[in-house]
Amino acid sequence: MIKKILIANRGEIAVRIIRTCKIMNILSVVIYSEIDKGSLHVQLADEAYCIGGPHAQNSYLDMEKILKIAIKSSSDAVHPGYGFLSENYKFAHLIEAHGLIFIGPRAQSIKQMGNKNKAREIMINSKVPVIPGTKVLNSIENAIEEASNLNFPLMMKASAGGGGRGINYITSSNDIYKSFKKTQDEAFKAFGNKDIYFEEYISSSKHIEMQVLVDMYNNIMIFPERECSLQRNNQKIIEESPSCFISKEIRIKLIETAMKAVKAVSYIGAGTIEFLMDKKNNFYFMEMNTRIQVEHPVTEMITDIDIIELQIKIADKQSIKLYSNNYINYNGNAIEARIYAENLFNNKFIPSSGIINYLHLPGGPFIRIDSGIHHNTNVTSYYDGLLVKVIAWGHNRNIAIKRLITALDETNIVGCQTNIPFLIKVLKEQNVQLGTYDTCSIDKMIEQKEQSNSNLCMINTIIASSVKQILIKLQINNNINIGWQYSYYRKK
């Protein structure tokens, strides 16, 4: 029986897990680095332990220290969240070797799926369609030979890769000479494994993924698909469920394929199978994520199922039969936008950091906020820049999008720069409104440099900056506060 969980993560996902722990009457223990002392997850948890310096290697990635804290705090289980150690089979193994429960799949499954090339082979053997590609490439000669059987352009990918890193695009065999060594080096530097392989690049595709939950008693839950095609640099920024692009027939096919994939690795726990779908509705297995996903809330919003809760129950050897009948009913549409600390100036995206000195998070009907920040949070360059996820639900897609735009427009984060204006612009795009977007849409949008600064906006800007100058001159910057609810903070 799990009574106490150590959460080996930070930011919004740590907060998210703490919330479910509280609902389930489970005590939560968190770890934090020196720089995260005042962060939200530390304030909300039942117990918190500082485990080292700000560098992730000295804190959130230090397996031995985390294990020690788990034992010291007499936790029954460890929840890794996403990122950090969540897909590290050695960590899962270490936790289990010390008699604790790792809330995630078996170490073996993490290992199998963590190697993208191995995962491909397993899926091919189980008759799951994969993107045309190759096995691990031994040499440049081998690469050129293999490439001749494929259609250009290709992607040269790191076997141990993930999160959009370690990928180079190959448009001709000349590129192979240039990129082979480079990709190997990058792969080794980033993932400690220099194996690389080819996959065909499918342009204008859609990124469709299936959330699954499997318990020890072979009860399988497969959720309606999520569409995450809106990406920049292979990083998702807006996700929705269900996809308006997928018909009932295709959904059934996707569910059947996901079922095959799950059985191929005798998977237990929560996982996500990612597919690429081309224009002709053919879909191909891309990879399987063996952890909770950032975008899990959209699924929760339309199915009324707390995925973290079931993750914990599965780890606790409970049955999820009560919830599962393979096909899960869903209601309406949900769409999520990720607010990142990013400086988007001149169409460049640069990570931004700073202390949040003013924060207003939105509310309103059918809006869910998963936030990891609060007033005075120090957004540093040590960790991922995801600050807040805003999720909107609607009985149809249009209303969900409208609610999301309204909520984003209302959000106010001052102290570090965010991508909110960009998110709003994306959501107002015709492609997005109609659901006809694909994985290239955002890059195309960025390319089209907009010159939209209207005259009115310019005049307002001049007025605002002029007033700011006067305020600075009079040094009354912090003294004006007329009828505003957040005045409390200022008195400090």
Those residues whose C-beta lies under 8 Å from the C-beta of residue 120, and which sit 6 or more positions away, are 130, 133, 197, 285
Cα 233 to Cα 201: distance, rounded to the nearest angstrom: 15
The DSSP annotation for 106-118 comes to -HHHHHHHHSHHH
> Cis omega before residue 242 (within 30°)?
yes
> Where in 205-234 is the site for another protein (CB under 8 A)?
233
Report if residue 470 touches another protein, rule: CB under 8 A. yes
Draw the binding track, 378-407, toward another protein (x: CB under 8 A; -: no contact): --xxxxxx----------------------
31 sits in which H/E element: strand 27-33
Report if residue 477 touches another protein, rule: CB under 8 A. yes
Q: Which of 53, 129, 351, 435 binds another protein (CB under 8 A)?
A: 351
Among 92-100, 194-202, 315-323, 482-490, the segment contacting another protein (CB under 8 A):
482-490
What is the smallest separation between the CB atom of 70 and another protein, expressed in angstroms? 24
Report if residue 452 touches another protein, rule: CB under 8 A. yes
Report if residue 9 touches another protein, rule: CB under 8 A. no
What is the smallest separation between the CB atom of 353 and another protein, expressed in angstroms? 5
Q: Which of 174, 449, 453, 488 binds another protein (CB under 8 A)?
A: 453
Which is nearer to another protein, 11 or 105 (by Cβ)? 11
> Where in 150-179 is the site for another protein (CB under 8 A)?
163, 165
Closest by alpha carbon to 225, among 247, 210, 205? 210
Which is nearer to another protein, 3 or 181 (by Cβ)? 181
| Encoded tokens for 259 | 């079922």
The string over 283-310, giving b where at least 16 C-beta atoms fall within 10 Å of a residue's C-beta and e elsewhere, is bbbbbbbbbbbbbbbbbbbbbebbbbbb
194: Cα separation from own chain's centroid:
25
Which is nearer to another protein, 74 or 481 (by Cβ)? 481
Report if residue 34 touches another protein, rule: CB under 8 A. no
Q: Which of 480, 488, 491, 492 binds another protein (CB under 8 A)?
A: 480
> Cis omega before residue 153 (within 30°)?
yes
Which is nearer to another protein, 101 or 344 (by Cβ)? 344
Contact 323, 315 (CB under 8 A): no
Report if residue 448 touches another protein, rule: CB under 8 A. no
Residue type, 1: M
Contact 89, 81 (CB under 8 A): no
Report if residue 345 touches another protein, rule: CB under 8 A. yes
Contact 352, 260 (CB under 8 A): no
Report if residue 322 touches another protein, rule: CB under 8 A. no
Report if residue 350 touches another protein, rule: CB under 8 A. yes
Closest by alpha carbon to 222, among 247, 257, 266, 250? 257
Report if residue 424 touches another protein, rule: CB under 8 A. yes
Cα 335 to Cα 205: distance, rounded to the nearest angstrom: 19
Q: Indicate which residues carry an active-site annotation.
A: 291
Which is nearer to another protein, 234 or 266 (by Cβ)? 234
Those residues whose C-beta lies under 8 Å from the C-beta of residue 223, and which sit 6 or more positions away, are 210, 211, 212, 213, 241, 299, 303, 305, 328, 330
Report if residue 428 touches another protein, rule: CB under 8 A. no
What is the smallest separation between the CB atom of 294 and another protein, expressed in angstroms? 13
Residue type, 278: D
Strands 101-102 and 77-79: parallel
Report if residue 238 touches another protein, rule: CB under 8 A. no
Instruction: Give the E-state strand segments of 34-73 in sequence order.
Output: 47-52
Among 62-70, 124-132, 363-371, 471-479, the segment contacting another protein (CB under 8 A):
471-479
> Where in 62-121 is the site for another protein (CB under 8 A)?
83
What is the smallest separation between the CB atom of 472 and another protein, expressed in angstroms? 7
Q: Which phi and psi (to 5°) does residue 199 adopt?
A: -140, 145
Q: Which of 23, 97, 322, 467 binds another protein (CB under 8 A)?
A: 467
What is the smallest separation between the CB atom of 339 and another protein, expressed in angstroms? 13
> Where in 252-281 is the site for another protein (CB under 8 A)?
none
Which residues are at the interface with another protein (CB under 8 A)?
A: 83, 163, 165, 233, 341, 343-345, 350-353, 357-358, 380-385, 409, 412, 414-415, 417, 420-421, 424, 452-453, 457-473, 477-478, 480-484, 486, 490
